[in-house]
Structures are given as structure tokens and as C-alpha cells.
Amino acid sequence: MAFPKVVILDVGHGNSVVVHDTKGNLVFDAGGQNTLTEYLLQAAMKEIYALFISHCDKDHLGGAINLLAARQLRVRHVYLNPDPLKTGSVFGLFRRTLADARTRRGTRVHVGLSTDQPANFSRGEARIEILAPTPEIAVSGVGGTDLSGRTLSGNRMSAVIRLVVSGKPILLLPGDLDHVGLENLEATGTQMSSRVLVFPHHGGRPGGGNAGEFAKKLTRLVSPELVVFSNGRGKHNNPNPVIVDGVRQAAPSAVVACTQLSEVCAKDIPNPLPHPVSSYYSAGHGRGYSCAGSIELRCNPSAELFPLVRDHGAFVTKNAPTALCRLPLPDVRGQARTATPRKRT
């Protein structure tokens, strides 16, 4: 049996994940720049079967402009929810590029992404589950309200997507889900467990509510072995220590990895620049910003999920003197407590 290959791309501040499956390539979010397209061209890809956009923020959608315009690539399907509040230049250019791809290249655009649409989506061994939003929330949309009367932002409407391989949940992608979106998802009773969690907001605070409690609740619901922060060095100093602390309290045995080396973990970049931990295209490598870089996941149940964990640990030990993923957890009195050793996956 051939198992899919999953790559969590280092796109800097943003999100993009590529699934290479036996019956087509899938992309989840596109980052904000050209990294996704450069990676796909480097990998000699000619077609993307489906592009899923969790929500319309430019750090999740902006890279789709170059992807849709690339003559060497064809995107067959695009799935997303509308956002009538988006008026910026990036969103406007995305819409014009989407129109060109639809009319000139046959890209099919599906406006509507919820737990009922698309139903039973699979390519090869990978099955895609849309865990949120539900249809009754999606029908109100951004600017509307949920069933409790709370205003729906783009983040609260983020599509939450889970990748399942051979019946096993491998990867959870919650977009930029915030505390209200998480409460609505939790209320459905949907199982969210997954071996890997790409944390929302790139490790930043999720808007209102208690950030640490949000991190703990989401992590406990997912129970991951690996938590990835798709962050950009120089952007908001992510991941936030409060978020990382919440994650580590909820899942002390999980591996924590950032795509780029945060200023919180290392004030200075390594000199000389080390070889990248991952051999995949990484937006941060040329400037010495990569930490875990672009991360490959192995979906074969008998293989290591994250094969570069030891290399990543060695890199952090050498180059990140204040690494949040390695330092002892502070308690509420400012004293240190030791985290349970993380599981080797």
C-alpha cells in the first residue's frame, strides 16, 4: 500500500500544507507569499486536484494568487467560504486571478466549505474531514452570528480540516480558529483527536478570551504527538510563551516544533548558517531563519511520524538558548517545574 506524503511548508507567517497522494495532490491554505508555488515547481508538480482555503486572511490565501496564475500548474478545484468584509488589495487580486483560472483554465470554484460540503472527500488513501463550521453557522457567514448571537469573524468561521489515512487521524488544521469557534466546535461533540496539530494563529494569541486556557483546551481535545507552530521570524514574536506553556501543560509528552526560529527562542540567528533540518524548500533557510523548516510527516503507521525529531532537537539545543520548547515550564510563582519528557515519535 502506498501512503500519502504530507509536507507542512515553512512559508513564514502563514499556513500551507501539501498532501501528495496516489490519486492527486491536495493543498490546504497557500501561505502569504510565493513559497507554495516555488515548492510545487521544485517538486515537478503539474496539477493540484484541490485547494482548500480555511479563511480569507492574506497569510492563508495570498500565495494562491501565484499558484492559480502559474502556467506550469493547474488547480482543478478550489473550496472556500465567502467573506464579504474583505476589501483589501490582496483579496481583490485573488478574486481576479480566481476568475481567470475559472474562465480560462477550467478551475472549478466551490463557494461553501462546511461539515456537509464537500462530503466524503478522498484522494487515494487520504480522506478529508471538515469538522467546522456546521451548515447552520456557515449559512450566516462572516459578519453574521452563531446560534448564541455572537458575531462571526473570519477566524470564527475558519474551516477546521482533519486528514485521515487508513482510518487513522493524522493531521488537524484549524486555520485561525478562536475561542468562540472552538466552543462551537466542542459543542457539536465532534472527535478532534489527531497525531499532529498545526496550531492556529501561528502560536499567537487567539483574540479574546484567556490565551493559555484556549491553548490547553484545544490541545487536550486533539491529544497530539506533535504540535507545529507555522510562524515567521520577525512577525509578532510568535509563538507566544503563554500559548506554548498551555500546549506543554496539556500535552507534556508531545514534540513541539516551529517552522522558523523565533526571536523569543534565539535573539541572534546562527552564524555560520547551518544546513536546514529538512531538505524541503523552506522560506526561512536562506536567511538562517529556519528551525524545523518544512516538515515531512510519514503516514505509514509503522514508521516514525516525524523522522527529524532528533535533528530538530540537536539544532534547538545548539542554536536556541531560550527555546520555549525545551526550557522548564514556569509555575504561577515564577519558579521552575520540569516538563515530562516528550515522546519520541
pTM for the model: 0.93
153 in a domain, yes or no? yes
C-alpha–C-alpha distance, residues 314 and 275, integer Å = 12
Q: How do residues 60-106 score in pLDDT, each as one tens digit?
A: 999 999 999 999 999 999 999 999 999 999 999 999 999 999 999 99
Give, to the nearest 10 degrees, the angle between helix 179-187 and helix 211-222: 40
Residue range(s) defining the domain that contains residue 273: 5-322
C-alpha cell at 132: 467546522
pLDDT at 334: 41
pLDDT at 255: 93
Q: How many domains does the chain have?
A: 1
- Region of 11 (left: φ > 0; alpha: ψ -120 to 50; beta: rest) is alpha
Q: Which of 105, 95, 216, 202 is nearest to 155 (CA)?
A: 202
DSSP, res 80: E
C-alpha cell at 298: 510519514
Query: What letter represents residue 117's amino acid?
Result: Q
Contact assessment for residue 171 and residue 186, using Cβ atoms and an 8 Å cutoff:
no
Q: Which of 296, 316, 204 is nearest to 256 (CA)?
A: 316
Query: What letter represents residue 44's amino acid?
Result: A
Q: Which residue has the higher pLDDT, 340 or 3?
A: 3
Q: Exposed e or buried b for every residue in 34-56, given b needs 16+ CB within 10 A?
A: bbbbbbbeeeebeebbbbbbbbb
C-alpha–C-alpha distance, residues 329 and 325, integer Å = 9
CATH number at residue 143: 3.60.15.10
334 in a domain, yes or no? no
C-alpha–C-alpha distance, residues 323 and 317, integer Å = 8
Q: Which stretch of 13-17, 177-181, 205-209 has the lowest confidence by average pLDDT?
A: 205-209
Contact assessment for residue 336 and residue 329, using Cβ atoms and an 8 Å cutoff:
yes
Q: How do residues 196-247 score in pLDDT, each as one tens digit?
A: 999 999 999 998 889 999 999 999 999 999 999 999 998 888 999 999 999 9
Task: Count how many Cα atoms sit within 13 Å of the Cα of residue 231 in the half-sphere of its side chain.
Answer: 31
C-alpha cell at 313: 532537537
C-alpha–C-alpha distance, residues 287 and 270, integer Å = 10
- Residue 181: what are its φ and ψ, rounded to 5°? -60, -40
198 in a domain, yes or no? yes
Q: How do residues 130-147 score in pLDDT, each as one tens digit?
A: 999 999 999 999 999 999
339 in a domain, yes or no? no
342 in a domain, yes or no? no
344 in a domain, yes or no? no
Q: Which pLDDT band holds residue 332 (cuts at 50, 70, 90)?
A: very low
Q: Which pLDDT band holds residue 340 (cuts at 50, 70, 90)?
A: very low
Distance (Å) of CA 329 to CA 56, 154, 243: 35, 33, 12
104 in a domain, yes or no? yes
337 in a domain, yes or no? no
61 Cβ neighbours under 8 A, 6+ residues apart: 29, 30, 32, 53, 55, 80, 90, 91, 94
C-alpha–C-alpha distance, residues 92 and 318, integer Å = 44
Query: What letter represents residue 230's amino acid?
Result: S
Burial of residue 139, with CB atoms counted within 10 A of its CB: 0-12 exposed, 13-18 middle, 19 or more buried: exposed
270 Cβ neighbours under 8 A, 6+ residues apart: 261, 288, 318, 319
